[in-house]
Chains A and B, each alone.
Chain A
């Protein structure tokens, strides 16, 4: 039993935190968000630090990292509310690395260098979180595959050059690699200020990647574990900043943190954070140990609960200032609201947990 990161994992998380503290503070982030919505410089730095290579296997020049290896990085990203689409990349890399042909996998060298960017296009309108609701069709046209359908809310698609797409053929759900130039994109910003797009596929040429429903579920569980880790970072920021506010904000001549009504609420936020951290440890280690969907769903239920609880209380305890765009806490609120639902909200995972 050991809940620590190993030395490499800790060093990497520390160096990511140092970089973000220096170059990705709230002001720097604001510039990125109000500008292009992502930063090529930042992405290049991520690549230099080895982050884009982290989920890529060693034979393609990466480090072959699993969820626990990514956990500290995701936490650091959460603390800084990073908008660059790193988790979608890690998820797409997992599917490509496990199911791609040798030629397809040669793309991964570009990923390591930070040049090739992948996103994961699975969501569709009306599917909510049902894995089986994929309506996008895959059919053979001559020797090649073509896809028809509409993917929605694909984070990272506007900056990606290739998409990993789920689609349904005669046999069931299958996975495809699609060149971004072959699709039409309708880009927008998500409620937590990330770049996303609706993706229209019309007789779109695609390459088949080995894998079906099982691999898709595995990848989504992996993505869920990463979301849990990222949420822990955001939760930590929200708790820290609220605690700081309680100690400094004065009303009636005293810091508001002297009021027991607020102290107990702060304690409950802190407990939510600690429980969320426990469950993120569980999710990431279980994903790496093989597969444990019940544990992943249990983790996501607690993370979603903690995200809702802590984000709402953080804003409430900040009073009116918590509502403004000027404070980072309102941006954390937006991120936590999205993370609570990413890859399934608490109700979805509760149903899955109970059924397993």
Chain B
């Protein structure tokens, strides 16, 4: 038993770290550290810096621009980005859509979309949830009817993150409403956001931020060539995506940075035993999460098997820790303060409540563990 990274892995971490020190623009890092709004330009600027270095899509096959890193290296890379205070890499294109195209896409689809994702030419968003279909995703109603060489799409998506930045959206749509097993009538479609009939309406969250949207589809014409995998196989695609690359959902590096920031920010609270105990407990939780994360990674490396359902616990614990850290930060803020940082800290507390709801609510994660890992 050896809980340490190997010498090669540590050297890799140092390489990533020193590159980040030299190449992560100061103004972007400061925005992240001060919880400021990141514009589309900010996000894409960072995307292109990573793309230029060749580090934007580590998990892709090498022929398409992947780095050929091991799972451990990819984990280290992601955690170092979080630890350094880099802007987030928006996952809808580089992680999600790309994973689907690489697994199910035709050669033409790959050639058409992957290089543009790599270069940051297309900004993608994800059309899954609907007003009546949240956790119960398979109940989705947005329908696509085949008409000649097109689908005609009608319906509505909701919680569509950064749809107002997006050039493209990948959607789950219902192509056959007659089937009794409702999972079988779903298909996976790619749509150009400029297509007539698509309307984006902002949903402002309680921190005042515009992050998510409603997206309306009104007789939207989508060429048949934008179907991924076969018609009616959308659920297979969705399930594949759910099980893909879930080893970094704990966001340990990001939380380590928040913890360090919190200790600095809240130095005046360390003499307050009740607050300090709460901080210590979160720190212990984070250590437990980190080691559990490494254990899963080690298991995956040894067995060569994809992560099991039990990695859902990383999402549960990781998001709980993220929320606890923001709450401690707010509690350490002078209630009478109204400077920009104090305001940003409060907004962040409001905003981070989303983490236990999005990407499969923590209750859904528990359902997954109960069913898939415990056999209940």
Contacts and interface: CB of A to CB of B under 8 A. Distances in A.
B276 A354 contact: yes
B291 A282 contact: yes
B262 interface: no
Give chain A's interface residue range (CB within 8 Å of chain B).
35 or more
Interface residues of B, number: 40
Interface in B275-314: 276-277, 279-281, 283-285, 287-289, 291-292, 294-295, 297-299, 302, 310, 313
B206 interface: no
Contact of A354 (B277, B287, B299): B277
B144 to A, nearest CB: 33
B284 A1 contact: no
B313 A1 contact: no
Contacts of A277: 295
Nearest to A295: B287
B287 A282 contact: yes
A68 B3 CA distance: 11
B281 A264 contact: no
Interface in A282-302: 282, 284-285, 295, 298, 301-302
B284 A3 contact: no
B106 interface: no
A1 B9 contact: yes
Contact of A267 (B283, B295, B298, B374): B374
B4 A279 contact: no
Interface in B348-376: 363, 366-367, 369-370, 373-376
Contacts of A268: 366
Nearest to B310: A274
Contacts of A302: 284-285, 288
Interface string A253-285: 000011010011011101100110111011011
A4 interface: yes
B367 A350 contact: no
Contact of B373 (A246, A270, A298, A301): A270
Report whether over half of chain A's contact residues are helix, strand or loop; otherwise say mixed: helix
Contacts of B336: none
B6 interface: yes
A266 B2 contact: no
B6 A1 contact: yes
B242 to A, nearest CB: 17
Contacts of B317: 271, 275
A181 to B, nearest CB: 41
A318 to B, nearest CB: 16
Given A3-B3, A281-B3, A285-B2, A263 B280 contact: no
B119 to A, nearest CB: 34
A2 interface: yes
Contacts of A247: 375-376
A173 interface: no
Counting from the closest, the 10 A-B pairs by CB-CB distance are: A278-B291, A263-B370, A275-B288, A278-B292, A267-B366, A354-B280, A257-B376, A264-B366, A267-B369, A298-B284
Given A3-B298, A354-B280, 6 more contacts: A71-B1, A266-B376, A271-B313, A275-B288, A279-B288, A282-B3
6 contacts: A4-B1, A267-B369, A267-B370, A270-B374, A281-B1, A301-B284
Interface of A: 1-6, 9, 68, 71, 243, 246-247, 257-258, 260, 263-264, 266-268, 270-271, 274-275, 277-279, 281-282, 284-285, 295, 298, 301-302, 350, 353-354
